[in-house]
Chain A
């Protein structure tokens, strides 16, 4: 068997094969798929009210419009679609159900109230304007703390209040430990509401396959198998009668790893009308009703000793669930994520957390790149800096004194997560050196004013949860999250290989990276391996692509599957070559004795034998065909890690923040394709820059969404982005197959806290305390002015 050290493709920056069609505009995204004749186009009527009773829906004007086929309301689906809710089983969680189209009540702006079926998308849009909905507005609530007050409007009468999830954890003897430390630092951190915002909006195309009596749903999803299960469950149809296909996807970022009401509606309609159904979202709809994320409030107390070593942490975290529970994650994804991940790379032995999530009249929150991690490390890394400032220890040293040291691996953290390997201290030291951190500190004046701007530097040392397996999901209450992924690898009769993987690419480059893995393992040329994904009819069952799991679980299942297949290849070849299979190796498209490449069989010859296409008989007891399927359920989690350092300049005249220097060191274990990993780091970091400096979805106190458009929801542009210095450490996992760790979320996780800390450092000299993001210029100006007033007054 090939040792990892022998691999020739893994670790190489193989250029992406996806580019060949994407660069010519030939990628077939959802809206590019050919549609059957007679396809019905959908348009959803969305509630303009955050909270209202629906007194009536009058669709007569819309139905009279030529080209409108029908207009349906929620009541029309009551027999077709069960109330929609994820299966969350964890103490403290209260189930809330959503009707895919609201019936009596709407609970957020953008909730579907009726659906138009029309001959063209233009007519569907026209008809939306002609549906008269009679709303009786109710008082609404949008903020977390307001929602938990006794007099707040209640979203679900059956619950009595808006508390939807609470979770508590406390180590033994916590209070005693907490009280015995030298001092306690306390702070409040707030993260704005953001969203993944893939540039391709969502949509779906549901078609009927009369011959096979199945329905095919094309949808740009990161989780095709879970979409299929949700449809079968909620539409009460056999799982085998639905096929879900992910076309080329224009970015996912977690936004597209949910199952959506419109997907259920589309399949219900194709089943009812026996006509194809298509819907494409516009940007406003996307910002209104696709999952939002964050909007967290941390109240954290850190008990610390004079040497800067943390003794105990007490966390009170509040998160905003929005109006419902997104499928499959609900609000527990970020709530449990942030609380459980907060200890990060540090030796925290005494920990207590209390988490609450509130229902509010806002869009339901769910997954977005980083999940709880930008949030918990904003708090944790913010406290590291505060410890440093309070005790007059350099913040980098505070981290060094608390980090899990190289000789402590494997390490089991305070909530029971195993850190198999890691380079927490090394990455910190490396990035401190590369960024010129010490030199910057040495020349930084007390008031931080250099050339008319306040200049500061900030660190984020983080762990990144990746490749979560079934145990990792169960412990957080995800009863129906499979955790594993799977691969079917086929050596075709011509000796080339096809890989069918349960995942779904959204732009990461799976077709390239996973071909590298399979080709390396099978000893084939890279060009002779093709990868297929995102189709429940072609690929074995699996969890999908999100939460930094693609490379770990996809890569791992391919390696395992190849190994299964290699055993058969060697058995067949062993008989033909009259060799012990254990002595055989694969390479260069051939099978031969180790050290004796002269006497070899080509993969094609082995395949011909397996497929009975030559005169060499298949060894006795061997089945025909040359393929294998394998399922890989990784450990609870595997942790990647890294350290970001941002150096910023704050202009006191206009409040603008410029990132002058950005350096990061990153460790995601065995790297499959360094070029792709770097691309993931770039993209994630820039999303983190957006989250730290500009992005925020704004609701007013009545639950009105005030910036559901791209002019007002500001995301980073090329001018906003500094060049980055990136270095890698490669510490393979000892727990995962292939030693791979995930990498998708590292950028955003490191960037948000590093930038916030840098800005806080820059303004520390004038007494401004930064403890929230985003840090927009108007906010910064206000803080500076307040500080000046206080200083003067």
Chain B
């Protein structure tokens, strides 16, 4: 699944960049993020906890950053593991921040692979699911960066690429949990 999109953030580029590489900021914005640990330089492990109705589910996303050109772009490789046999999501993407006055346009191109139950029972829903979760991330992100501003989306996507993994894994897991237990 190739995903492309851009997102407009009413904040200057340097600030967006700093937030995008700041574990504390990210942890605060990812819905259900329990921890966002720096494992090594440019390697992170995010533990995400979701809860829907009676169902609790935890999983880990390993994130590696490379080709870092502050404050313009980086490449990101993500490997998410669902709970046990739930399946996997992984992929890589390039993120670019383009300066536009005091605002910033975030572009991403992501190539993701989703497998196992995530693909089998949720492939049709995952994009929607991921978008919804990512939307929540962005409103958090915007609020975190500029509590009084409002973010606006353009293009067909609203999500920075690395978020897709978190979102896909989260969304996929929720879909699964629904299928399996609801």
Direct A–B contact present (CB less than 8 angstroms): yes
Of the listed stretches B111-119, B146-154, B163-171, name the one at the interface; the rest are far from the partner chain.
B111-119
Is A709 part of the binding interface, using a Cβ–Cβ cutoff of 8 Å?
A: yes
Contact A706 B119 (CB under 8 A): yes
Asked if A49 and B123 sit within 8 Å, CB to CB, the answer is: no
Residue of B at shortest CB range from A706? B123
CB of A129 within 8 A of CB of B83, answer yes
Judged by a CB distance under 8 angstroms, whether B69 is at the interface is no
Find out whether the CB atom of A46 lies under 8 angstroms from the CB atom of B123: no
Partner of A131, one of B1, B85, B115, B116: B85
A residues near B118, Cβ cutoff 8 Å: 48
* Chain A residues near B115 (CB-CB < 8 A): 48-50, 109, 702, 704
* Inter-chain contact A288/B85, CB cutoff 8 Å: no
Are A128 and B123 within 8 A (Cβ)?
A: no
A14 contacts chain B at the CB level, 8 A cutoff: no
Determine whether A281 belongs to the interface, using a CB cutoff of 8 Å to chain B: no
For window 91-110 of B, CB contacts with A under 8 Å fall at: none
Task: Please state if B121 and A128 are interface contacts (CB–CB under 8 Å).
Answer: no
| Residue among B1, B116, B120, B121 with the highest chain A CB neighbour number at 10 A | B120
Interchain CA distance A288-B85 in the complex, whole Å:
14
Q: Contacts A48-B115, A48-B116, A109-B115: A708 and B85 contacting too (C-beta < 8 A)?
A: no
Asked if B87 contacts A48 (CB within 8 A), the reply is yes
- Find out whether the CB atom of B85 lies under 8 angstroms from the CB atom of A48: yes
Which residue of chain A lies nearest to B84 when distances are taken between CB atoms in the complex? A129
A129–B113 touching, CB < 8 Å: no
| CB closest chain-A residue, reference B83 | A129
**Are A712 and B83 in contact, with the CB atoms below 8 A?**
no
| A705 is an interface residue with CB less than 8 A from chain B | yes
A709 near B121 (CB under 8 angstroms)? Answer: yes
Smallest CB separation, B78 vs chain A (Å) = 15
Cβ proximity bits A112-139 to B, threshold 8 Å, 1 near / 0 not: 0000000000000000111110000000
Asked whether B120 lies within 8 Å of A109 as measured between CB atoms, the reply is yes
Instruction: Indicate if A45 sits at the interface (CB-CB under 8 A).
Output: yes
Tell me, rounded to whole Å, the shortest Cβ–Cβ distance linking B122 to chain A.
Answer: 9
Nearest CB of chain B from residue A291's CB, rounded to whole Å? 17
- Majority DSSP secondary structure for residues of B touching A: helix
Chain A, range 692-710, C-beta contacts under 8 Å to B: 700, 702, 704-709
Query: Chain B nearest CB: distance from A112 CB in Å?
Result: 12
User: A49 — which chain B residues lie within 8 A by C-beta?
Assistant: 88, 115-116
Q: Determine which of B85, B113, B179 lies in contact with A128 in the assembled complex, contact meaning CB atoms within 8 Å.
A: B85
Residues of B within 8 A of A709 (CB): 120-121, 179
Return A116 CB to nearest CB of chain B, in Å.
11
Contacts of A131 in B (CB 8 A): 84-85
Q: Could you tell me the distance between the alpha carbons of A392 and B34 in the complex, rounded to whole angstroms?
A: 72
Q: How far is the CB of B108 from chain A (nearest CB, A)?
A: 21
Determine the distance from Cα of A50 to Cα of B12 in the docked complex, in whole angstroms: 44
Give min CB distance, A508 to chain B, whole Å: 31
CB of A622 to closest CB in B, whole Å: 64
List the B side residues contacting A711 at CB < 8 Å.
124
Report yes or no: B86 in contact with A129, Cβ–Cβ below 8 A.
Answer: yes
**Chain A 45-70 interface residues, beta-carbon cutoff 8 Å to B:** 45-46, 48-50
B83 with A707: CB separation less than 8 A: no
| Chain A minimum-CB-distance residue to B120 | A708
Residue of A whose beta carbon sits closest to that of B113: A702
Neighbouring A residues of B120 by C-beta, 8 Å: 109, 284, 287-288, 704-709
Closest Cβ of chain A: how far from B56's Cβ, in Å?
13
Asked if A48 contacts B117 (CB within 8 A), the reply is: yes
Q: Report the Cα distance A702→B88, complex, angstroms.
A: 13
Q: Which of A128, A284, A700, A706 contacts B84 (CB 8 A)?
A: A128
Complex Cα–Cα for A709 and B123 (A): 10
Q: How many A-B residue pairs have CB under 8 A?
A: 59
Most chain A beta-carbon neighbours within 10 Å: one of B113, B123, B124:
B123
| B123:A284 contact, CB within 8 angstroms | no
B119 touches A129 (CB 8 A): no
Alpha-carbon distance between A284 and B121 when the two chains are bound, in angstroms: 8
Question: In the docked arrangement, what's the CA distance between A50 and B118, Å?
Answer: 14
Q: Which residue of B lies closest to A710 (CB)?
A: B121
Q: Which residue of B lies closest to A61 (CB)?
A: B84
A708-B116 CB under 8 A given contacts A46-B85, A48-B85: no
CA distance A399 to B113 in the complex (A): 49
Residue from the list B88, B114, B124 in contact with A712, Cβ < 8 A: B124
Q: Are the CB atoms of B121 and A45 closer together than 8 Å?
A: no
Task: Name which of B1, B83, B84, B179 has the most chain A CB atoms within 10 A of its CB.
Answer: B84
Once A707-B123, A712-B123, A712-B124 are accepted as A-B contacts, the answer to whether A284 and B117 lie under 8 Å apart by CB is yes
Residues of A within 8 A of B85 (CB): 45-46, 48, 128-129, 131
A residues 395-411 touching B (CB-CB < 8 Å): none
CA distance A50 to B119 in the complex (A): 12
Q: In whole angstroms, how far apart are the Cα atoms of A705 and B124 in the complex?
A: 12
Cα distance, A706 to B117, chains bound together (Å): 9
Q: A128 vs B121: C-alpha distance in the bound complex, in angstroms?
A: 17
Write out the residue numbers on chain A whose beta carbons fall within 8 Å of the beta carbon of B116.
48-49, 109
Contacts of A704 in B (CB 8 A): 113-115, 119-120, 123
Q: Distance in Å from the Cβ of B179 to the closest Cβ of chain A?
A: 7
- CA of A702 to CA of B91, assembled, Å: 13
CA separation between A561 and B176, bound complex, in Å? 55
Q: Name the A residues within 8 Å of B86 (CB-CB).
A: 129
Give Cα A128 to B85, complex, Å. 7
Residues 126-152 of B, flagged 1 when their CB comes within 8 A of A and 0 if not, give: 000000000000000000000000000
In the complex, the answer to whether B87 meets A708 with C-beta atoms within 8 Å is: no
How distant is A777 from chain B, measured CB to nearest CB, in Å?
15
In the bound assembly, the distance between CA atoms of A284 and B86 in angstroms comes to 12
Residue of B nearest to A711 (CB): B124
* A712 vs chain B, min Cβ distance (A): 6
* Contact call B119/A705, Cβ cutoff below 8 A: yes
Instruction: Find out whether the CB atom of A708 lies under 8 angstroms from the CB atom of B83.
Output: no
Give B121's nearest chain A residue, CB to CB. Answer: A709
Q: How far is the CA of A252 from the CA of B67 in the complex (A)?
A: 55
Output the residue of A45, A49, A706 with the most chain B CB within 10 A: A706
Q: From residue 278 to 305 of chain A, which have CB atoms closer than 8 A to chain B?
A: 284, 287-288
Which residue on chain A has the smallest CB distance to residue B124? A712
In the complex the two chains form, is B88's CB within 8 Å of A708's CB?
A: no
Residues in chain B near residue A50, CB distance under 8 A: 115
Cα A287 to Cα B88 with chains together (Å): 19
Q: How far is the CA of A704 from the CA of B121 in the complex (A)?
A: 11
Q: Give the nearest-CB partner of A52 in chain B.
A: B115
Most chain B CB inside 10 Å of its own CB: which residue of A109, A132, A287: A109
In the bound assembly, the distance between CA atoms of A712 and B179 in angstroms comes to: 13
Question: Cβ of B113: which chain A residues have Cβ within 8 Å of it?
Answer: 702, 704
On whether the beta carbons of A130 and B84 are closer than 8 Å, the reply is yes
> Whose C-beta in chain A lies nearest to the C-beta of B86?
A129
Report how far A288 CA is from B86 CA in the complex, Å: 14
> What 0/1 readout, one digit per residue, does chain A (698-733) give for beta carbons within 8 Å of chain B?
001010111111011000000000000000000000
Considering only CB atoms, which chain A residue lies closest to B90 in the complex?
A137
Residues in B whose Cβ lies below 8 Å from that of A46? 85
Q: Is the CB of B84 within 8 A of A708?
A: no
B51 to chain A, nearest CB (A): 17
* Binary CB contact string for chain A from 431 to 444 against chain B (1 if under 8 A, 0 otherwise): 00000000000000
Please report which residues of chain B, range 38-65, place their CB below 8 angstroms from some CB of chain A when the two chains form the complex: none
Question: In the assembled complex, how far is the CB of residue B3 from the closest CB belonging to chain A, in whole angstroms?
Answer: 14
A754 to B179, CA, bound (A): 37
In the complex, residue of chain B having the shortest beta-carbon distance to the beta carbon of A287: B120
10 A-B pairs with least C-beta separation: A48-B116, A129-B84, A708-B120, A704-B119, A706-B123, A48-B87, A709-B121, A48-B115, A704-B115, A705-B120
Q: A706-B124, A712-B123 are in contact. List 16 more A-B contacts (CB 8 A).
A: A48-B87, A48-B88, A48-B116, A48-B118, A49-B88, A128-B84, A131-B85, A132-B84, A284-B121, A287-B120, A704-B115, A704-B119, A704-B123, A706-B120, A707-B124, A708-B121
Chain A positions near chain B (C-beta within 8 angstroms): 45-46, 48-50, 109, 128-132, 284, 287-288, 700, 702, 704-709, 711-712
Q: List 13 A-B contacts (CB under 8 A).
A: A45-B85, A48-B88, A49-B116, A109-B115, A109-B120, A131-B85, A284-B120, A704-B114, A704-B119, A707-B120, A708-B121, A711-B124, A712-B124
